[in-house]
Amino acid sequence: MSNTWIKMCGLKQRAEIEIAVELGVDAVGLVFYAPSARAIGINEIDELLPRELKGTQVVALFVNPSVEEVQAALSSGRIDLLQFHGTEEPEFCESFGTPYLKAVGVEAAVDTVEIEANLHRYQSARYFLLDTFDAQEHGGTGTRFDWRQAAALSAVTKQKMILAGGLNPQNVGDAINRVKPFGVDVSSGIEAAKGRKDIIKMKQFFEGVRRA
């Protein structure tokens, strides 16, 4: 039975978050990137989050935000981790005094040595998130990259790696067995439609991880 860390991202409804908490996921992700179909506003944080999260952490996802945007989310007092999905420099990510994870888009044409060098710049990150590179979407594409790249990085990096990109209830067990990541992150793979989660798929994904 796998104890792989689980994050469900892009949740927009309180009921979705409540289900995730009841399942026992390690983290839920709130998207603060306006172009995304999964985006919410800073003023929605309190209304979306249950008072009791039972140990589930709240991750705030940004793409090249301003300092003020990040500080506004942190001022809610409900954010445990920051997730930076753009080209933010390490100094920027570190400047808020809050643990962060840095997302890195993986391209087929880029070898793992180059990716590892990029990861090395973010040594202060609590986690690295490997996702499929997409210059427009910045995550949540539902497309997977070559897991052999992730497996090679997982074997050499000393940081805790989170695998994302095209994961769903059907393939997450295989992904865990092949890559052996610290954690997995899912968004589109548990959706009924873009921006709306499917409760059955959420449960199936959680069970798929635990069975791995």
pLDDT digits over 118-176, tens only?
888 998 999 999 987 555 544 445 566 678 888 888 777 767 899 998 899 999 999 99
Position 183: which residue type?
G
* 150 Rama sector, left if φ>0, alpha if ψ -120 to 50, beta otherwise: alpha
Q: Specify the number of domains making up the chain.
A: 1
pLDDT cut 70: percent of the chain above it: 92
Q: For 31-78, write each residue's pLDDT tens digit.
A: 999 999 999 999 999 999 999 999 999 999 999 999 999 999 999 999
Distance CA(164)–CA(99), nearest Å, equals 19
- Here the CATH number for the domain that contains residue 56 is 3.20.20.70
Of 9, 111, 146, 174, the active-site residue reads 9
Res 23: pLDDT: 97
Of 46, 80, 131, 198, the active-site residue reads 131
* 131: annotated active-site residue: yes
Quote the domain boundaries for residue 134: 5-211
Distances (CA, A) of 186 to 8, 40, 66, 128, 161: 5, 17, 26, 15, 14
* 93: annotated active-site residue: no
